[in-house]
């Protein structure tokens, strides 16, 4: 039985004159946890947007969760994919609280003209408990710290009951303690759900230890991919980033 | 209350009620999305379209509707794509609309009373037909908010998130911009092209200062919008000053008071990354 949930063949994406992805091919199997690393501008985020249907291919083909992405509406697909971006700048006066923000996660699947059911509201409460911010449920979303905000973002994605989990620099711009807590939470979720997960980061120190495969991107291409043990080597990383890079000790110890 | 005995004043009070509701509701959209300047631009486009109608001899409301919808259709992608700084490109469209408005006015022959009425508004001379159009618009706007509340809340507070979870966020976003255009068109006759935007912005901005709940914000903004219209009408009647100006000044005073007593006054400014954990 074919376990492939993502298949991308020779994908090219461009934003006006800038080519963001150049001939990327990738297969991801159900339940895999994949880390994607590379310098800024390597095409990591663009790759995620191709997977959730927001990035338009100018060449190549892609199938995600059995649907071929052919330039039509990707709304049905996005309902099945959880997406967490890095902490964004947010107006502290925004009139929406944490619980309402997390509930937005189920709006896509609910569809127009339907209100969240009691069961869905209970799911929101359970997920808020799970990510450790149940006590903040009534707090305005703009009053959260960076770490709390990311927990809310992860909770919102989980309420969506996704089949694929895309994490785009979820630990960027938050302090180290919060980074560690968020990474532990992401790993816990994967261990419990075995959800197919793609984790993008440019910071090697924030690479989850449960990565089964690492994809190294540079200049809009997949430069190399393989097991973390084979990729997290000084000579490989130095070539990837174009500068001498040493493997952070906390990461080296995980994969040694 | 002799003021209520006059038929024109009854119409004006009804127009104030309906205009206050519709303008305040769309005001909540643009204030929460931080798109105030886009609203100003749509308002001036409606004004220019109405003047074109007057000049060429067709119904000015049709001109206003077409121009405001066209402005929304142009401004939305400009704001989204970021090819130019949105402030710059919207500013150019805004000044173009104002330039067209003055051009059409300059090309008109004879007295320009009707054109000047569109400038300043004339809530005291609104007709039953204007009120029917305003009532239909207000009903439409309120109906859309009730029907699509959860999608609207998601889009105006977290547009990128709404897009990512599979809400038709782009359709909702343009729907909100077009609703703004329709509301401005319907209120143009009573409030006036130059003043309409204050009635959209001020009550919603005042409500934004007072609550963290979108539902409460909608109700407070509507209350402020209606109070602005009715208090402005009363002041204009007793002091014999232009009604549109009195309505706008009243709404600005309400905004000032709301800001002075806002529980959000001590909230720090926009968070800038990096954030504390």
Comparing CB atoms, the residue among B212, B268, B274 nearest residue A140 is B212
Complex prediction ipTM: 0.88
B194: which DSSP letter? Answer: T
Spatial contact of B228 and B205, defined as CB atoms under 8 Å apart: no
Task: Say whether pLDDT at A35 is over 70.
Answer: yes
pLDDT in tens, B15-49: 999 999 999 999 999 999 988 888 888 888 998 99
Residues of B in contact with A165 (CB under 8 A): none
Q: What proportion of chain A, given as a percentage, has pLDDT over 90?
A: 66
- Is residue B182 helix, strand or coil? helix
Task: Specify if B269 maps to a domain.
Answer: no
Give the separation between CA B200 and CA B93, rounded to whole angstroms: 20
Asked if residue B272 has pLDDT above 60, the reply is no
**Dist CA A27 CA A8 (whole Å):** 6
Q: Which residues contact B137 (CB under 8 A, 6 or more apart)?
A: B18, B22, B182, B183, B185, B186
**Best of B166, B168, B272, B276 to mutate (most A CBs within 10 Å, chain A):** B166
pLDDT at B84: 60
Number of domains observed in the structure of chain B: 1
Asked whether residue B1 is assigned to any structural domain, the reply reads no
* Mean pLDDT across chain A: 90
Q: In whole angstroms, give the CA distance from residue B158 to residue A101.
A: 8
Provide the pLDDT for residue B275.
40
Q: Are B75 and B44 in contact (CB under 8 A)?
A: no
Residue A142: alpha-carbon gap to chain centroid: 22
In a domain, B95, yes or no: yes
**Residue ranges of domains in chain A:** 1-73+202-256
Is residue B2 situated within a structural domain? no
- Mean pLDDT score, B174-186: 91
Q: Is pLDDT above 60 for B276?
A: no
In the predicted structure, residue A78 carries a pLDDT above the cut 60: yes
A186 C-beta neighbours (distance < 10 Å), count: 22
A172, A178, A180, A183: CA torsion to nearest 10: -60
The alpha carbon dihedral of B244, B249, B255, B261 has a sign of negative
Q: What is the pLDDT of residue A255?
A: 66
Helix (H, G, I), strand (E, B) or coil at A149: helix
Return the structure tokens found at A86: 């890095």
* Residue A130 predicted with pLDDT over 60: yes
Q: What is the pLDDT of residue A71?
A: 72
Structural domain harbouring B215? 7-259
Whether pLDDT at B1 is above 70: no
- Supply the CATH number for residue B90's domain: 1.10.3470.10
φ, ψ of residue A10 to 5 degrees: the values are 55, 45
Among A203, A214, A217, which residue's Cα sits nearest to residue A248? A203
Mean pLDDT check: name the lowest of B55-59, B106-110, B231-235, B237-241.
Answer: B106-110
Contacts of A164 in chain B (CB under 8 A): none
Residue A59: the pLDDT is 92
Q: Does B81 contact chain A (CB < 8 Å)?
A: no
Within 190-249 of B, beta carbons closer than 8 Å to A belong to: 208-209, 211-214, 216-217
Minimal Cβ distance to B166: which of A75, A90, A115: A75
**Mean pLDDT within B61-84:** 83
Measured CA to CA, the distance from residue A40 to residue A19 in angstroms comes to 14
What is the per-residue pLDDT for A6? Answer: 96
Q: Which of A78, A92, A113 sits opposite B164 (nearest CB)?
A: A78
| DSSP element (H, E) containing A223 | strand A221-226
Nearest CA in chain A to B164: A78
Beta strands at A67-68 and A59-64: parallel, antiparallel or unpaired: antiparallel
Helix (H) or strand (E) holding B41: helix B36-56
pLDDT the model gives residue A251: 72
Q: B265 touching A, CB under 8 A?
A: no
B276 within a domain of the structure (yes/no): no
Contact A104 B161 (CB under 8 A): yes
**pLDDT band at B82; cut points 50, 70, 90:** low
Residue B264, domain member (yes or no): no
- The answer as to whether B69 is a domain residue is yes
Confidence of residue B85 (pLDDT cuts 50, 70, 90): low
Average pLDDT over residues B230-240: 91
Q: B273 pLDDT band (50/70/90 cuts)?
A: very low
| Nearest chain B CA: its distance from A79 CA (Å) | 5
The pLDDT of B188-206, averaged and rounded, is 86
| A63-82 mean pLDDT | 89
Interchain CB distance below 8 Å, B276 and A54 = no
Residue appearing with tokens 């997406």: A83
How many angstroms separate the CA atoms of B142 and B153, rounded?
14
CATH 3.30.1490.20 correct for A1-73+202-256: no
- In terms of Cβ atoms closer than 10 Å to its own Cβ (0-12, 13-18, 19+), residue A221 is middle
CB A124 within 8 A of CB A118: no
Across A175-196, average pLDDT = 91
The Cα–Cα gap between B191 and B15 comes to: 9
User: A224: which strand partners?
Assistant: A216
Q: How many whole angstroms separate alpha carbon B271 and alpha carbon A74? A: 32
User: Residue B268 has what pLDDT?
Assistant: 60
Residue B190: the pLDDT is: 81
**Which residues of chain A neighbour B154 with C-beta distances below 8 Å?**
104, 107
Residue B200 and residue B184: Cα distance in Å, rounded? 9
How confident is the model at residue B274, as a pLDDT?
40
Q: Report helix, strand or coil for A27.
A: strand
Q: Is residue B211 part of a domain?
A: yes
Q: So what's the pLDDT on residue B267? A: 67
Residue B259: pLDDT band by 50, 70, 90 thresholds?
A: very high
Contact B165 A146 (CB under 8 A): no
């Amino acid at each position: 039985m074919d376990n492939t949930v993502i298949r991308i063949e020779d994908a090219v994406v461009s934003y006006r004159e800038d080519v963001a992805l150049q001939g990327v091919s990738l297969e991801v199997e159900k339940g895999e946890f994949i880390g994607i690393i590379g310098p800024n501008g390597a095409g990591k985020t663009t790759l995620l947007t191709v997977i959730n249907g927001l990035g338009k291919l100018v060449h190549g083909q892609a199938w995600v969760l059995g649907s071929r992405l052919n330039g039509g509406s990707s709304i049905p697909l996005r309902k099945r994919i959880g997406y967490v971006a890095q902490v964004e700048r947010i107006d502290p006066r925004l009139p929406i609280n944490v619980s309402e923000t997390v509930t937005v996660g189920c709006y896509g699947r609910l569809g127009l003209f339907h209100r969240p059911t009691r069961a869905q509201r209970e799911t929101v409460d359970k997920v808020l408990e799970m990510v450790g911010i149940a006590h903040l449920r009534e707090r305005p979303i703009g009053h959260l710290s960076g770490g709390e905000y990311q927990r809310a973002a992860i909770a919102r994605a989980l309420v969506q009951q996704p089949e694929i989990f895309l994490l785009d620099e979820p630990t960027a711009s938050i302090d180290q303690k919060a980074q560690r807590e968020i990474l532990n939470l992401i790993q816990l979720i994967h261990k419990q759900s075995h959800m197919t997960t793609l984790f993008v980061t440019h910071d090697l120190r924030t690479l989850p230890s449960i990565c089964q495969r690492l994809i190294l991107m540079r200049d809009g291409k997949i430069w190399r991919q393989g097991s973390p043990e084979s990729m997290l080597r000084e000579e490989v990383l130095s070539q990837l980033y174009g500068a001498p890079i040493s493997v952070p000790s906390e990461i080296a110890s995980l994969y040694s | 209350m002799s003021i209520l005995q006059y038929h024109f004043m009854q119409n004006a009070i009804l127009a104030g009620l309906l205009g206050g509701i519709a303008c305040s509701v769309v005001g909540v959209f643009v204030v929460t999305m931080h798109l105030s300047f886009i609203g100003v631009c749509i308002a001036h486009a409606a004004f220019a379209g109405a003047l074109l109608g007057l000049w060429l001899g067709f119904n000015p409301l049709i001109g206003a509707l077409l121009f405001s919808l066209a402005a929304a259709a142009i401004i939305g992608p400009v704001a989204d794509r970021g090819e130019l700084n949105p402030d710059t490109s919207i500013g150019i469209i805004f000044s173009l609309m104002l330039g067209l408005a003055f051009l059409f006015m300059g090309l008109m022959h004879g007295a320009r009373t009707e054109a000047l009425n569109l400038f300043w508004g004339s809530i005291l001379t609104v007709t039953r037909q204007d009120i029917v159009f305003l009532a239909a618009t207000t009903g439409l706007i309120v109906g859309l908010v009730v029907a699509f509340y959860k999608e609207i809340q998601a889009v105006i507070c977290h547009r990128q998130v709404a897009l990512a979870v599979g809400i038709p966020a782009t359709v909702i976003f343009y729907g909100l911009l077009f609703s703004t255009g329709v509301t401005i068109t319907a209120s143009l006759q009573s409030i006036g092209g130059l003043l309409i935007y204050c009635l959209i912005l001020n009550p919603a901005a005042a409500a934004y200062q007072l609550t963290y709940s979108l539902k409460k914000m909608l109700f407070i903004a509507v209350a402020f919008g209606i109070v602005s219209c009715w208090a402005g009408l009363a002041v204009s009647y007793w002091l014999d000053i232009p009604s549109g100006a009195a309505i706008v000044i009243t709404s600005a005073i309400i905004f000032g008071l709301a800001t002075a007593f806002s529980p959000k006054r001590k909230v720090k400014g926009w968070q800038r990354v990096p954030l504390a954990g």
